[in-house]
Amino acid sequence: MSSDNSLVRFVDIQKSYDGVSLVVKSLNLDVAHGEFLTMLGPSGSGKTTCLMMLAGFEPATHGEIYLKDNPINRVPPHKRGIGMVFQNYALFPHMTVAENLAFPLQVRDMDKSEQKQRVDRALDMVQLGPFGDRRPAQLSGGQQQRVAVARSLVFDPDLVLMDEPLGALDKNLREQMQYEIKHISENLGLTVVYVTHDQSEALTMSNRIAVFDDGIIQQCAPPEVLYEKPENAFCANFIGENNRFLGKVSEDNGDTVKVEIDNNAGTVIAKKVNVGGVGDRSTLSLRPERVTVNPEPGSLPNIFNGVAEELIYLGDHIRTRFTVLGHDDFIVKIPNSANHAQLEEGGTANIGWTAEDCRALDPSD
Amino acid sequence: MATAEAENNEVITTADGVPLKESLKKALWQRKKTALLLVAPLFLFVLITFLIPIFDMLIRSVDNSIAGEQFPGVVVELSDWALDSTELPDEATFQALIQDFKVGAKEKTISRLGRRLNYEKSGMSGLFRKTARKIKKLESPESATAAMIAIDKKWGNIETWRLIKRESGKYSSSYYLAAFDAKKNSDGSFSMKSEEQQVYLNLFWRTIRLSFTITFLTIILGYPIAYLLSTVKTKTSNMLIILVLLPFWTSLLVRTSSWIALLQKEGVINDILVGLGLLGDDNRLAMIHNEAGTVIAMTHILLPFMVLPLFSVMKTIPPSWVRAARSMGATPFTAFVRIYLPNTVAGIGAGGILVFILAIGYYITPALVGGTKGTLISNFIAYHVSTSLNWGLAAALGTILLLLVLALYILYDKVVGINNMKLG
Ligand SMILES: Nc1ncnc2c1ncn2[C@@H]1O[C@H](COP(=O)(O)OP(=O)(O)O)[C@@H](O)[C@H]1O
Ligand SMILES: [Mg+2]
């Protein structure tokens, strides 16, 4: 991403709280104007820390953060013009909803009539028009969430940060709010840095996802790339469902490799993505929906005999657990199409996949 | 079917035919009984050690039954003698006086009434003792009036009789008047005592003033500490709380002597200030045995009562509130004043009312380090209870103090709301 289009740039950011370990290890990341970027990662991977450094509440131990090409390490939070939505909403309990929304305008000494106009517009945007006089405690969780979003936008910040804003909502409401936030950000052309540990939320909302683990960005890519072309075992595993085999590379053919699965279970031909040469260990990753049951013999490079251990009928597809290549946790999603394979628990079947769909990645544990 | 039946009989019964309401009542009564049994011991304890004594205090502050007990005859005779009369009471009254005195002197109880009347007018105690001594030799005189005046001229003074008449009721307001530095004039009207005789108004004023000062100081000193405690790790804050509570754990005498060592004219602080040249050797600060001593020592002792409620409120304030305010453009100062401070008002209120109420009734510390200028109302109550034995006045002062605290409490409830109060 070219730097003239980027709104935020993290350059070689490192962060340590205790002087012993690095919570963020060398972060380099650009966020473009108008982009919805999600930091996705398990709890403790340093996402909040990155957000706090960007907002100005934690100093970076090393490196520089640029906002519109200006270094901001020494700019105090209130001068950064960054809107923020917190996980527990951080609404001010002693103020009404309207007062909460007016707060950022008051501290900017905006005149009263414009304050009111903007507050009303923000409330309408999140469909809370009639609730201006209520206290936050008198609102439901979802409504509080909307107030928090409206409050972070009411002063037209350049950038909005959201730290697991939907974490406290139940599933239905969460999904609804995902769409609402996405639409608001699209309509207003906002630049959003969003933090979540929920991969489906990240896939739904983002233009780009930065997958965090252990203080490092494992991969930063649009959702479809991340899902279909994970570059390492962590991303493959963290995003979407994924069958894994561990083994050793026995043959390197440039685009593809042959991998001997541990315990002499068999040899699989896979796409060479993130693996060394012959003799290196590798993790093979294969999406459950990319497996064919009872393929034409010889039509696929990888065909093995498996035992169907468990069938779960899920309507649109049948989720089947196989034992294959010495693994009893191999999942296949069989689409419920007109002439799909008929299986029984305990029965055997041939299952196969292409070399393209099976990605040879780094040997993780 | 079932609902139709219920409508017909209007009584819903349980399976064994007992009306539902009754069996519910029975079940609830069991629970209530348990609850009552659980509170009964504490209730009895509080009743005996707290409520009854307070009631007794209220009674004592107006009780004047001593006049009726010691002067039964005189009180009856005086009932048709008017306060504004210009003549002495009649002969019958004097005969009753002799009779009452003879009984009282024999039982050695008459001097109590003398002491009681002495509160109103000095010299009365002496008059009663002298009369009691001489009354035994008095054998049915021709004129009781003349005989009594012969014993002491004061019996012929109309003011003496007006005093007795005024204080002959079962109840008396004189203790309260004394507590407010007022007095009853001989014609029954009230007036303030002369400036140099006033004691208690100044004392109440000083008590309130010092209590406010102490409360204010504990807020100023306690707020930053509580803030620090609420932001550090639990392990660190637990240790710091121990330091805050340290004053509770040191014995009173150790504490007092260390204050004296620190604060007196030849004490550590003065020595340091003189040593640094900040203070001349001949104008060392007087920081003990005066108001300053009381304020310093009591602020020290009462600080935990401010810190703990503040701490417990501040602990519930997530750092994200102030952060949210800052991200919206508020300076640290604005974020503090508009967001943090309003949410700690409950803690300031709770700590403030606690410290103020404790301070207003504090006894031991002002007694030890207050000298004469730094003593509070409680010290005078204690003096009247144990030294001057004027229990009525002590009770009146105590009652006023109690009402003061109650008024404050009600005011607080109106302004802040007692339900918002958060303690520990
Ligand atoms: N204020 C802090 N002081 C010390 N350690 C912290 C602090 N905040 C976070 N950490 C540590 O840094 C790591 C990353 O935390 P965080 O950024 O909150 O992760 P995430 O938001 O991805 O769950 C965690 O191991 C956490 O314990
Ligand atoms: Mg987090």
Q: What are phi and psi of B19, to 5 degrees?
A: -55, 140
For residue B318, what pLDDT is reported? 93
Please tell me the distance from the alpha carbon of residue A364 to that of residue A237, in angstroms, as a whole number.
Answer: 10
What whole-number distance in Å separates Cα of residue A31 and Cα of residue A159? 10
In a domain, B90, yes or no: yes
Q: Is residue B6 situated within a structural domain?
A: no
Average pLDDT (B164-189) is 86
Residues A130 and A169 in one domain: yes
Q: Is pLDDT above 70 for B5? A: no
Question: Which of A17, A18, A57 has the highest number of chain B CBs within 10 A, making it the mutation to test binding with B?
Answer: A57
Our CA dihedral for B320, B325, B331, B332, rounded to 10 degrees, sits at -30
pLDDT surpasses 50 at A220: yes
- Cβ-based contacts of A78 with chain B (< 8 Å): 326-332, 335
Kindly state whether residues A283 and A327 are assigned to the same domain: yes
Please state which of the ranges A247-251, B13-17, B145-149 shows the lowest mean pLDDT: B13-17
Q: Are residues B247 and B383 in the same domain?
A: yes
Separation CA A258–CA A247 (nearest Å)? 10
Tokens 């707290």, located at residue:
B50
| Residue-range definition of the domain harbouring residue B122 | 66-192
Q: Are strands A192-196 and A159-163 parallel, antiparallel or unpaired?
A: parallel
| B327 Cβ under 8 Å from any chain A Cβ | yes
A182/A137 same-domain check: yes
Domain of residue A57, CATH code? 3.40.50.300
Residue A173 lies in domain: 6-233
**Is the minimum distance from the CB of A43 to ligand 1 under 6 angstroms?**
yes
Same domain (yes/no): B90, B49: no
With CA atoms as reference, report the closest residue to A163 among A190, A201, A129: A201
Give the mean model confidence (pLDDT) for residues B192-213.
91
Does residue B184 sit within a domain?
Answer: yes
Residue B59 in domain: no
What's the CA angle centered on A302, arms A341 and A340, to 5 degrees?
Answer: 10
The CATH number for B317's domain is: 1.10.3720.10
A341 pLDDT higher than 90: no
pLDDT in tens, A37-66: 999 999 989 999 999 999 999 999 999 999
Question: Shortest Cα distance from B56 to chain A (angstroms)?
Answer: 45
Let me know whether B29 and B157 are in one domain.
Answer: no
Instruction: Flag whether A238 is in a domain.
Output: no
Reported confidence tier of residue B169, pLDDT bands at 50, 70, 90? confident
Q: What is the pLDDT of residues B283-319, one digit of tens each?
A: 888 888 899 999 999 998 899 999 999 999 999 999 9
> A49: Cβ below 6 Å to ligand 1?
yes
Per-residue pLDDT averaged across B339-343, rounded? 94
The CATH number given to whatever domain includes residue A357 is 2.40.50.140
Domain membership of residue B228 (yes or no) is yes
**Beta-strand pair A302-313/A348-353:** antiparallel
Last residue of a domain, one of B163, B192, B221: B192
B351 and B411 both lie in a single domain: yes
How distant is the Cα of A80 from the closest Cα of chain B, in angstroms? 8
Let me know if residue B7 belongs to a domain: no
* Residue A31 within a domain: yes
The pLDDT value recorded for residue B48 is 93
Please report, as a single letter, which amino acid is at residue B194. S
| Same-domain check for residues A172 and A23 | yes
Whether B278 and B343 map to the same domain: the answer is yes
Decide whether any atom of ligand 1 lies within 6 Å of the A17 Cβ: yes
Question: If you average pLDDT over residues B374-399, what whole number do you get?
Answer: 92
Q: Is the domain of A147 the same as that of A262?
A: no
CA atoms within 13 A on the CB side of B78: 24
B315 and B252 housed in the same domain: yes
Whether residues B320 and A90 touch (CB distance < 8 A) is answered with yes
Segment of B8-12, B105-109, B418-422 carrying the highest mean pLDDT: B105-109
| Pair A18, A142 in one domain | yes
Other beta carbons less than 10 A from residue A119's beta carbon? 22
ipTM higher than the 0.95 cut: no
Percent of chain B residues past pLDDT 70, beyond the cut: 96
Shared-domain flag, residues A222 and A319: no
Residue B145 in any domain: the answer is yes
Residues A50 and A220 sit within 8 Å (Cβ to Cβ):
no
3-state secondary structure chain A: CCCCCEEEEEEEEEECCCCCCCCEEEEEEEEECCCEEEEECCCCCCHHHHHHHHHCCCCCCEEEEEECCEECCCCCHHHCCEEEECCCCCCCCCCCHHHHHHHHHHCCCCCHHHHHHHHHHHHHHCCCHHHCCCCHHHCCHHHHHHHHHHHHHCCCCCEEEEECCCCCCCHHHHHHHHHHHHHHHHHHCCCEEEEECCHHHHHHHCCEEEEEECCEEEEEECHHHHHHCCCCHHHHHHCCCCEEEEEEEEEECCCEEEEEEHHHCEEEEEEECCCCCCCCEEEEEECHHHCEECCCCCCCCEEEEEEEEEEEECCCEEEEEEEECCEEEEEEEEECCCCCCCCCCCCEEEEEECCCCCEEECCCC
pTM assigned to the model: 0.80
Looking at B192, B223, B255, the residue that finishes a domain is: B192
Question: In terms of domains, do B44 and B74 share one?
Answer: no
Residue B184 shares a structural domain with residue B75: yes
Does residue A259 share a domain with residue A321?
yes
Domains identified in chain B, total number = 3
The whole-angstrom separation of Cα B305 and Cα B358 is 9
- Does the residue B262 lie in any domain? yes
A243 pocket-lining for ligand 1 (C-beta < 6 Å): no
To the nearest whole number, what is the mean pLDDT of chain B? 88
Give distance in angstroms: CA of A356 to centre of ligand 2: 36
Q: Residue A59: inside a domain, yes or no? A: yes
Q: Of A177, A203, A233, which marks where a domain is finished?
A: A233
One-letter identity of residue A152: S
Choose the mutation target among B316, B327, B343, B345 for the interface with A, i.e. most A CBs under 10 Å. B327
Sequence length of chain B is 424
- Is the same domain home to A77 and A223? yes
- pLDDT at A2 > cutoff 70: no
Closest CA to A83 of B338, B324, B321: B324
From chain A, the residues in CB contact with B338 under 8 A are: 103
Q: Which neighbouring-strand residues pair with A361?
A: A283
The helix-helix angle for B91-106 and B144-151 (nearest 10°) equals 50
Q: Is B342 on the interface with A (CB under 8 A)?
A: yes
pLDDT band at B18 (very low <50, low <70, confident <90, very high): confident
Looking at the DSSP assignment, which residues form a beta bridge with residue A259?
A: A249, A268
CB neighbours of residue A186 within 10 Å: 12
- Binned at pLDDT 50, 70 and 90, residue B10 comes out as low
Name the phi and psi angles at A5, rounded to 5: -95, -5
Q: What is the dihedral of CA A14, A17, A21, A24, to 10 degrees?
A: -30
Helices B144-151 & B124-135 angle (0-180, nearest 10): 120
Q: Are B128 and B171 contained in the same domain?
A: yes
Instruction: For residue A133, give the amino acid letter.
Output: D
Q: From A104, which residue of chain B is nearest by alpha-carbon distance?
A: B328
**Same domain, residue pair A222 and A248:** no
Q: What end-to-end distance do the CA atoms of chain B give, in Å? A: 57
Instruction: Tell whether A1 is covered by a domain.
Output: no
**Cα gap B193→B183, rounded to integer Å:** 6
Residue A17 at interface with chain B, using a CB cutoff of 8 Å: no
* Same domain membership, residue B205 and residue B185: no
Whole-number pLDDT of residue A266: 84
Position B1 confidence tier, pLDDT thresholds 50, 70, 90: very low
Task: Output the pLDDT for position B424.
Answer: 53
Is the domain of B307 the same as that of B353?
A: yes
Q: Identify whether residues A215 and A253 lie together within a single domain.
A: no
**Per-residue pLDDT tens for A274-333?**
888 888 889 999 999 999 888 888 888 889 988 999 989 888 888 999 999 888 889 999
Q: Do B43 and B78 belong together in one domain?
A: no
The verdict on B324 touching A (C-beta cutoff 8 Å) is yes
User: Do A126 and A163 fall into the same domain?
Assistant: yes
Comparing B183 with B127, which gets the higher pLDDT? Answer: B127
Q: Check pocket membership of A47 for ligand 1, CB cut-off 6 A.
A: yes
Of B173, B192, B211, the last residue of a domain is B192
User: What is the tally of structural domains in chain A?
Assistant: 2
Please check the confidence at residue A129 and state whether its pLDDT lies above 90: no
Contact predicate A331/A290, CB 8 Å: no
Instruction: For residue A252, give the amino acid letter.
Output: D
Q: Is the pLDDT of residue B62 over 70?
A: yes
Please identify, among A195, A211, A233, the residue that sits at the C-terminal boundary of a domain.
A233
Q: Report the pLDDT value the prediction gives residue B2, as an integer from 0 to 100.
A: 47
- Say if the Cβ atoms of A90 and B321 lie within 8 Å: yes
Closest ligand to the CA of A43? 1
Q: What's residue A1's pLDDT?
A: 43
pLDDT score for B422: 58
Q: What is the mean pLDDT of residues A229-240?
A: 89
HEC secondary structure over chain B: CHHHHHHHHCCCECCCCCEHHHHHHHHHHHHHHHHHHHHHHHHHHHHHHHHHHHHHHHHHCCECHHHHHHCHHHHHHHCCCCCCCCCCCCHHHHHHHHHHHHHHHHCCCHHHHHHHHHCCCCCHHHHHHHHHHHHCCCCCCCCHHHHHHHHCHHHHCHHHHHHHHHCCCCECCHHHHHHCCEEECCCCCEEECCHHHCCHHHHHHHHHHHHHHHHHHHHHHHHHHHHHHHHCCHHHHHHHHHHHHHHHHCCHHHHHHHHHHHHCCCCHHHHHHHHCCCCCHHHCCCCCCCHHHHHHHHHHHHHHHHHHHHHHHHHCCCHHHHHHHHHCCCCHHHHHHHHHHHHHHHHHHHHHHHHHHHHHCCCHHHHHHCCCCCCCHHHHHHHHHHCCCCHHHHHHHHHHHHHHHHHHHHHHHHHCCHHHCCCC
Q: Give the per-residue pLDDT at B6.
A: 46
